[in-house]
Amino acid sequence: MLTDRNQRKIAPADRLNGLPTQFFAKLVAKANARAAMGHDVINLGQGNPDQPTPPHIVAKLQEAAANPLYHKYPPFSGYPFLKEAVAKRYLEDYGVELDPASEVAILFGGKTGLIEISQCLLNPGDVCLVPDPGYPDYWSGVALAGAEMTFLPLTAENRFLPDLGAIPQDKLAKAKLMFLNYPNNPTGAVADADFYEEVVAFAAEHDIVAASDFAYGAIGYDGKRPISFLQTPGAKDVGIEFYTLSKSYNMAGWRVGFALGNAEIISMINLIQDHYYCSLFGGIQEAAALALAGPQACVAELGSMYERRRDALFAALAEIGWKAEKPAGSFFCWLPVPEGWSSESFADKLLQEADVVVAPGAGFGEYGEGYVRLGLLTSEDRLREAVRRIGKLGIFEN
């Protein structure tokens, strides 16, 4: 028989109770349950790259793993050679000069930095400006900091860029941080130089830190390369950029990311990480440095592959009458749901009757309602098959 002591529950800290619900955990559970029933499920709802890491990077890790130096604790803020490699890449790709010692922090994946920056800069009562729709992990960092969010609507009418002039003055007065994300997840939109110049001026005027999430920076289409926020004059005075190897080099599982830019903010991130971590395994750092400083043909080939997939998908969508705008960047497609459906009910319909997983737009915020997100993370044939199955439902015939 259980005693009162055995029945007692351990109460979590308030910060855990305040975390947002992981919307996509439910999506994964639904997809897995369907697959467990024996159905051939085509999962276009997640953002996990489907290709392997280029072999020259894997070979470098295999070689570096045998180095006894890396069997010891690494330096707390990481090895200088990795910081130098990412600075070299930014100089070559974007013409941006970075001091490896003071303007680069090594992260356990970009997601970690997106959480940490809120903890570094926000106090309870402060406001963070967050894109809607947007990457839900921005919300998590704000919640852990005990701060508040004001959402910036991203609409098709404004090319999925926020209207900075529409932010309520009372929220603006308390705002300390704002997130940007281009190429954008989930919309696939890209930002231009004029927008980033507006952001720099806005952030300077209102004493707000701008945090650019550049996770999909290597993936642009139609001969256009996405630009970096840090290319903008004055950007390092007002903010930082988060960069990751997850998408550019198919290294999602390696967990290598960077915060780049303003030296004061980089120092804060290094400080908080001193209390959390002792940096990445040295062998991974050496392989990551090779990825950044070595041959870049693999990055170009990856972008070309996603463009072929995008074009194959949209040709198939046109055949069934599903009209949408092609993304200009990222590996996501943002498609309007048919009239009479919510994003979640439509996603459930596709899973239950077509065995196709898409991400409901509502999971990305209020302004995501009315859309679903598809990832270009399977072969062209599987993308066409997914659309063929959806077409058989007859939803778009009229």
88-120 pLDDT, tens digit each: 999 999 999 999 999 999 999 999 999 999 999
The whole-number average pLDDT for the span 180-200 is 98
Give the pLDDT score at 17. 86
Give the span between the Cα atoms of 245 and 67, in whole angstroms: 23
User: Model confidence over 309-346: pLDDT tens digits?
Assistant: 999 999 999 999 999 999 999 999 999 999 999 999 99
User: Model confidence over 149-170: pLDDT tens digits?
Assistant: 999 999 999 999 999 999 999 9
Give the pLDDT score at 23. 75
Check residues 21 and 159 and name the one with the higher pLDDT. 159
User: Model confidence over 346-392: pLDDT tens digits?
Assistant: 999 999 999 999 999 999 999 999 999 999 999 999 999 999 999 99
pLDDT score of 1 more than 50: no
User: Model confidence over 41-63: pLDDT tens digits?
Assistant: 999 998 899 999 999 999 999 99
pLDDT score of 396 more than 80: yes
Check residues 264 and 277 and name the one with the higher pLDDT. 264
Q: What is the DSSP string of 152-200?
A: EE--GGGTT---GGGS-HHHHTTEEEEEEESS-TTT-----HHHHHHHH
What percentage of the chain carries pLDDT values higher than 90? 90
Across the beta sheet with 371-375, what order do the strands follow? 332-336, 371-375, 359-360
pTM assigned to the model: 0.94
pLDDT score of 3 more than 60: no
Give the pLDDT score at 160. 98
User: Model confidence over 87-96: pLDDT tens digits?
Assistant: 999 999 999 9
Looking at residue 142, its amino acid is V
Q: For domain 4-52+298-392, give the CATH superfamily.
A: Aspartate Aminotransferase, domain 1 (3.90.1150.10)
Kindly report the average pLDDT of the chain as a whole number.
95
Give the pLDDT score at 372. 98
Helix (H, G, I), strand (E, B) or coil at 81: helix
Domain boundary assignment for the chain: 4-52+298-392, 72-293
Give the pLDDT score at 15. 87
Give the span between the Cα atoms of 282 and 74, in whole angstroms: 6
pLDDT level of residue 2 (50, 70, 90 thresholds)? low
Give the pLDDT score at 21. 79
> Residue 279 class from Cβ within 10 Å (0-12 exposed, 13-18 middle, 19+ buried)?
buried
What percentage of the chain carries pLDDT values higher than 70? 98
- In sequence order, what E strands does 38-118 have? 42-43, 104-107
Give the pLDDT score at 5. 59
Check residues 4 and 316 and name the one with the higher pLDDT. 316
pLDDT score of 201 more than 50: yes
Count other C-beta atoms under 10 Å from residue 67's C-beta: 11
pLDDT score of 287 more than 60: yes
Backbone angles phi, psi at 333, to 5 degrees: -120, 135
Give the pLDDT score at 4. 57
User: Model confidence over 245-257: pLDDT tens digits?
Assistant: 999 999 999 999 9
User: Model confidence over 60-84: pLDDT tens digits?
Assistant: 999 999 999 999 999 999 999 999 9
Give the pLDDT score at 46. 86
CATH topology of domain 72-293: Aspartate Aminotransferase; domain 2 (3.40.640)
Residues in a beta bridge with 243: 258
